[in-house]
Amino acid sequence: MKIAFYAPLKPPTSSIPSGDRLIGRLLMQALGEAGHQVELMSRFRSYDRDGDAVRQHRLQVLGQKMANRIVCRINKRTPADRPKIWLTYHLYHKAPDWIGPHVALALGIPYVISEASFAPKQENGPWALGHSAVRDSLAEAEMVIGLNSEDAACIIPCLSGPERYQSLRPFLDNTPFLSAVKDRGVHRKVIAEDLSLDPKTPWLLTVAMMRPGDKVQSYELLAKALMGLREEKWNLLIVGSGPAEDQVRALFSEMSGSVFWLGKVDADRLAAVYAASDVFVWPAVKESPGMCFLEAQAAGIPVVGSDAGGVPDVVEHGETGLLAKHMDVSDFAASVRDLLNDESKRLGMGRAAAMHIAARHGTRTAGRRLSALLSEAVQ
């Protein structure tokens, strides 16, 4: 099947790494592996960060012009070369879809959304235009495929029928992580030498962008939790960079001898860093769906996260990791301490984590599910 694909928040071809870009790429990969032809229809970003009504209106006009151009372009093709369905990935009030509904209607093809969030409290806020557009897009959608179970309660009332909401487990390509697990000893030795780390001391790992807002708040909670574990033996490896790096580094200043900054790590090396570590730790303030948790588990290490957002969708509490109460520093610290002091539990959870991801959260599994859902939408 030929599928028209679009991501209004950030195109999969963006040069700036993020979880959103990664999921967009994974959706295209999973559909490609399932035998579909996926075409990225536009790189247009409808994102407005600051709640600027004038900018939002301008983005709306630009998006509608782009939609008209796409319709003209596709209408020049032969029927066999035209897409059979439109798939938009991730829309919310700051990044509505000004293109997909118009094109799908003009071409007479189903309009499908993969991951959306709808916040009723934004109805009269600074993003009221985008909020209204998201509500309209949801009402027009033949199907909404949810990656975060927490979003369903607000989305389903916007649909023409509850049956139009379908779930999809978050997923990733676990191939590089499986390979890294096999060479864990080698990776650990190399990293230990590079950073002058004791390989016998448990290594905690965090992988996250450093930007204001939820990310910095998560780093702040992590720092507070680890401050309460100074009597334990551990080292923390932090992978990430961003505009708030100075602020993040300041949070860990009192633990400088135990914290190691790896900066931005290329994707081909990141799997090795995961596999070489012992426990992934991230408080996950408003994390959805938690790709870092998928990656850590795929690399065979247990995780400590939060019991909110999209994290419970990908972590089996007590089996592949531990989920602390959301925003609870003491509970998070206790969960980390539990795994620091029990090597057999760490290893057992790590093995279970790798099997869990391989069985339920790989691209092949996701591709089969997506194929079935999109075929249903077309029929």
pLDDT digits over 219-230, tens only? 999 999 999 999
How much is the mean pLDDT over the chain?
95
Q: What span, in angstroms and rounded, lies between the C-alpha atoms of 284 and 110? A: 35
CB 205 within 8 A of CB 277: yes
Count other Cβ atoms within 10 Å, centred on residue 169.
16
- State the pTM of this model: 0.84
CB 308 within 8 A of CB 367: no
Which has more confidence, 238 or 313? 238
Q: 147, 184, 129: which is closest to 299 by C-alpha? A: 184
Q: Report pLDDT digits (tens) over 311-350.
A: 998 999 999 999 999 999 999 999 999 999 999 999 999 9
Q: What is the pLDDT of residue 286?
A: 80
Q: Is the pLDDT of residue 116 over 70?
A: yes
CATH code reported for the domain at 175-360:
3.40.50.2000
Please report which confidence band the pLDDT of residue 250 belongs to, taking 50, 70 and 90 as the band edges.
very high
Q: What span, in angstroms and rounded, lies between the C-alpha atoms of 307 and 43? A: 34
DSSP 362: B
Please report which confidence band the pLDDT of residue 148 belongs to, taking 50, 70 and 90 as the band edges.
confident
Q: What is the pLDDT of residue 17?
A: 79
Q: What is the pLDDT of residue 360?
A: 92
Q: Which residue has the tokens 């096999």?
A: 182
Q: What is the pLDDT of residue 289?
A: 67
Q: How far does CA 350 lie from the centroid of its chain? A: 21
Instruction: Record the tokens describing residue 249, joined without a space.
Output: 């580094």
Q: Report pLDDT digits (tens) over 3-12.
A: 999 999 999 9
Q: What is the pLDDT of residue 100?
A: 98
Q: What is the pLDDT of residue 240?
A: 94
CB 41 within 8 A of CB 70: yes
Q: What percent of the chain lies above the pLDDT cut of 70?
A: 100
Sheet containing 165-167: which strands, arranged edge to edge? 37-40, 2-6, 85-91, 111-116, 143-146, 165-167
Q: Report pLDDT digits (tens) over 251-306.
A: 999 998 999 999 999 888 999 999 999 999 999 988 776 789 999 999 999 999 99
Cβ neighbors of 104 (< 8 A, separation 6 or more) are 86, 110, 111, 140
Q: What span, in angstroms and rounded, lies between the C-alpha atoms of 174 and 194? A: 26
DSSP 363: H
Q: Report pLDDT digits (tens) over 158-209.
A: 999 999 999 999 999 999 999 999 999 999 999 999 999 999 999 999 999 9
Rg of the chain, C-alpha, whole Å: 22
**Mutual angle of helices 175-182 and 343-360, in 10-degree steps:** 150
Q: What is the pLDDT of residue 335?
A: 98
Please report which confidence band the pLDDT of residue 18 belongs to, taking 50, 70 and 90 as the band edges.
confident
Burial of 370 (0-12, 13-18, 19+ CB in 10 A): buried
Domain boundaries, the chain: 2-171+362-378, 175-360
Q: How far does CA 173 lie from the centroid of its chain? A: 13
Q: Which CATH superfamily is domain 2-171+362-378 in?
A: Glycogen Phosphorylase B; (3.40.50.2000)
CB 106 within 8 A of CB 82: no
Instruction: Record the tokens describing residue 20, joined without a space.
Output: 């959103």
Q: What is the pLDDT of residue 182?
A: 95
Q: What span, in angstroms and rounded, lies between the C-alpha atoms of 45 and 284? A: 26
DSSP per residue, 183-228:
THHHHHHHHHHHHT--TTS-EEEEE----TTHHHHHHHHHHHHHHT
Please report which confidence band the pLDDT of residue 310 belongs to, taking 50, 70 and 90 as the band edges.
confident
Q: Is the pLDDT of residue 249 over 70?
A: yes
